[in-house]
Amino acid sequence: MNCTDCVSNTFEDCENLSDILELLRFQADNETLIKRLNDCNYLEYPKPLHLAISIPYAAVFLLSVLGNFLVILTLVRHKKMRTITNVYLLNLAVSDLLLAVFCMPFTLIPLLLQDFIFGDVICVLIRYLQSVSVTVSCYTLVAISLERYYAICQPLQSRRWQTLYHSYRVLAFIWILGLSITIPIAVFTKRLQVSTGAYACREIWSDFLTEKLYTGFLDILLLLMPLCIMGYSYGQIGSQLWKDLTVNLSKNMFPATNIIATHILLYISLPFERWIKTEKSGVNGSQTPDDGTGCCDIMNPLLLNGTPQNLRQVNYQRVLLSKKRVIKMLCVVVLEYFICWTPLFIINTWTVMDYMSIRSSLNLLTKALVLLLAYISSCVHPITYCFMNRSFRQSFATAFKCCPGPLSRSGKSMALVSETSQVRHQKRIDATSTAQTSLRVVFQKKPRI
- Residue 302 in any domain: the answer is yes
- Residue 407 in any domain: the answer is no
pLDDT at position 382 is 86
Residues 18 and 54 in one domain: no
Residues 159 and 51 in one domain: yes
- Residue 436 in any domain: the answer is no
Residues 32 and 65 in one domain: no
* Amino acid at position 99, single letter: L
Strands 199-203, 189-193: pairing kind: antiparallel
Residues 126 and 246 in one domain: no
- Residue 431 in any domain: the answer is no
Residues 283 and 357 in one domain: no
Q: Which residues, 6+ apart, have CB-to-CB distance to 146 below 8 Å?
A: 229, 233
pLDDT at position 129 is 93
pLDDT at position 318 is 73
- Residue 406 in any domain: the answer is no
Residues 260 and 151 in one domain: no
- Residue 28 in any domain: the answer is yes
User: What is Dmax (Cα atoms) for the chain?
Assistant: 111
8 A C-beta contact, residue 328 and residue 385: no
Residues 111 and 224 in one domain: yes
Residues 227 and 286 in one domain: no
CA terminus-to-terminus distance, the chain: 104
8 A C-beta contact, residue 21 and residue 37: yes
Residues 213 and 70 in one domain: yes
pLDDT at position 248 is 65
Give the distance from CA 386 to its chain's centroid: 13
Find the domain containing 268 and state its range.
242-319
pLDDT at position 183 is 96
State the Cα–Cα distance between residues 98 and 64, nearest whole angstrom: 10
User: pTM higher than 0.85 for the full model?
Assistant: no
Residues 292 and 392 in one domain: no
Residues 227 and 293 in one domain: no
pLDDT in tens, the chain (449 residues): 445 444 444 444 444 444 444 444 544 444 444 444 454 544 455 666 667 778 888 899 999 999 999 899 888 888 778 889 889 999 999 999 999 998 888 888 887 787 899 989 999 999 999 999 999 999 999 999 999 899 889 888 888 888 999 999 999 999 999 999 999 999 999 998 887 788 889 889 888 889 999 999 999 999 999 999 999 999 898 888 888 777 766 665 444 444 444 443 444 444 444 444 444 444 343 344 444 444 444 444 444 445 555 555 566 667 777 777 788 888 888 898 899 999 989 988 888 888 777 777 777 778 878 888 999 988 898 888 877 777 777 777 776 664 444 433 433 333 333 334 444 445 554 544 554 554 444 445 444 44
- Residue 210 in any domain: the answer is yes
Residues 71 and 182 in one domain: yes
State the Cα–Cα distance between residues 232 and 148, nearest whole angstrom: 12
State the Cα–Cα distance between residues 180 and 64, nearest whole angstrom: 26
Give the distance from CA 330 to its chain's centroid: 8
114 — alpha (psi -120 to 50), left (phi > 0) or beta? left
Residue 392 main-chain phi, psi, to 5 deg: -65, -40
pLDDT at position 176 is 97
- Residue 437 in any domain: the answer is no
- How many domains does the chain divide into? 3
pLDDT at position 430 is 54
User: Which CATH number does the domain housing residue 201 bear?
Assistant: 1.20.1070.10
pLDDT at position 315 is 65
